[in-house]
Structure 1
Amino acid sequence: MTVDGAIENRQIVEAWQRIEGWLQEHAPASYAALLPGAEASQAQAVQDVVQVPIPQALTTLWRTIGSNLVRGVFLRNYDLIPLDAVADFYRSRMVEQKGEEISTAEEGRPLWAPEWIPVFSEHRTSQAFVLYLDAASGLLHDWSRYGENNYGTDNEELDSLSTYLEEVADSLEYPAMATRDKAGLIDGALVWQSGIEPGEHDRWTACR
């Protein structure tokens, strides 16, 4: 492992410890619903499906963070995709891409590329909107089943896994400084402002 890789692994673990500690203190319902990190065999099962080497940072993320049984704890109420769903999603997207001689995306861009690994989604069982890690660049990108923002835009804020987690931790610990999303609580659970559902606004309390 390179020095840079070791640093990113440490940053991922430390950022998650900050997030987990905040949840334990401020959002007990979300904390209680956290699942344990993945076993090495689970990560290997995904590697057996993915057609490129999985970055060590992503393996560290999977081994450190478990999925959440309630609403997601990441920006926009996203959650870490369970590893069996990662494999299924990747496999289905690659089959879909292979079946398209000409992509429906603009300028012949792929529907899905081998180096794209799904990581976070708006719902742990329905991945219509996903953050994927580009294994070639090490950066996260938005992907939508409906074609929006699949290939990056001038306004897209690109993160590595470590900077993304640090952004989440900073937004929780210093809510006045949060720029991309605002944290709040509903019945002891973390709910990000961008993901408040209809009828929930009166129950949502912003973190200060």
Structure 2
Amino acid sequence: MSAERQVTEAWGRIEGWLRQYAPASHAALLPGAGEAEICVVEEVYGMRMPGDLRTLWGLTGGGAGVFFGNYDLPSLGRGMEFHGNRMRFQLEDGGNDANGIPWWRPDWIPVFSNSRDSQAFVKYLDCESGLLYSWDRYGMNNYGTEKEELDSVSTYLEEVADSLESPALAVRDSPGLIDGYLVWESRAHVHPDTWRPFPA
């Protein structure tokens, strides 16, 4: 099965679960980007995006924080802004951090963030390897390390879907609900009195 088809099927499972069990989150989802918009982004980045990422962007614009830890998809504009800022920092500062990891590279594309408006914590796609890595504004970057399990966009989405459909088998994070919104257990501390695990 192609990565594009895996993404489409996994997102369909996620969206179906939201429609049935977390209608407020489902209602908050934004439509995906059109082909022309994605092409503009590719021109800015100077590369054709991997097929799994193009497929995800075409399916949804995020808006509901439905990924592990209630991460979201930043808008394409916010993603380009973040990428540009990191590249400027790389060019101005030059070289790598204390661990020998580049500050940023042109083929690192931000995909998931802790919110659409804040990118203090980011999962970015390394287009060379096709894997997602974690970055945060405090200087932590797991590129080239073994700090966590690495996913492709498609395997990450499949694990989100699996965790929603089979919470008892969830390893990375477990789903819960607050007033019709999906809130993952790792974010339950924000509203401890109203968060309920799924299924209750």
- Residue 96 (str. 1) matches residue 84 (str. 2): no
Counterpart selection for 1:120 from 89, 112, 115: 112
CA displacement 1:3-56 (0-9 Å, x = unmatched): x6xx11001000000000000000010001011110112211211221443212
Q: How does 1:28-47 map to 2 (within 5 A)?
A: 28-47=23-42
1:17 to 12, 21, 24: 12
CA drift of 1:108 comes to 3.6
Structure 1 stretches (4+) deviating beyond 3 angstroms? none
Query: Which AA in structure 2 matches 1:207?
Result: F
- What is the correspondence of 1:39-118 to structure 2 with a 5 Å cutoff? 39-68=34-63, 70=64, 72-103=65-96, 105-118=97-110
- Post-superposition shift, 1:57? 1.5
TM-score, normalization by structure 2: 0.94
Q: Is contact 1:52–1:114 with CA below 8 Å preserved after alignment?
A: no
Amino acid at match of 1:93: R
DSSP 3-state at the match of 1:44: helix
Q: Which deviates more, 52-61 or 165-174?
A: 52-61
Distance 1:94 1:155 in 2: 24
Unaligned runs of 5+ in 2: none
Mapped pair 1:202 → 2:197 = no
2: distance between equivalents of 1:156 and 1:49? 30
* CA positional deviation for 1:155: 3.6
How far has the Cα of 1:152 moved from its partner?
A: 4.5
Q: Secondary structure at the match of 1:79?
A: coil
1:38–1:65 Cα contact (<8 Å) kept: yes
Q: Which of 159, 162, 168 in structure 1 is aligned with 2:151?
A: 159
CA distance in 2, matches of 1:142, 1:107: 15
- Identify which range, 46-55 or 169-178, moves more after superposition: 46-55
Query: What is the aligned partner in structure 2 of residue 189 from structure 1?
Result: 181
Alignment partners' CA distance in 2, 1:95 and 1:138: 23
Q: Which moved further from structure 2: 93-102 or 105-114?
A: 105-114
Equivalent residue, structure 1, for 2:163: 171
CA RMSD of aligned residues (A): 1.4
CA contact (8 A) 1:49 1:91 kept: no
Cα 1:142–1:55 change in 2 (3 A) is: same
Q: Give the Cα–Cα distance (whole angstroms) in 2 for the partners of residues 10 and 24 of structure 1.
A: 21
**Counterpart Cα distance in 2 of 1:94 and 1:120:** 18
CA contact (8 A) 2:131 2:153 kept: yes
Q: How many Å separate the matches in 2 of 1:52 and 1:107?
A: 28
Separation in 2 of the partners of 1:45 and 1:197?
Answer: 39
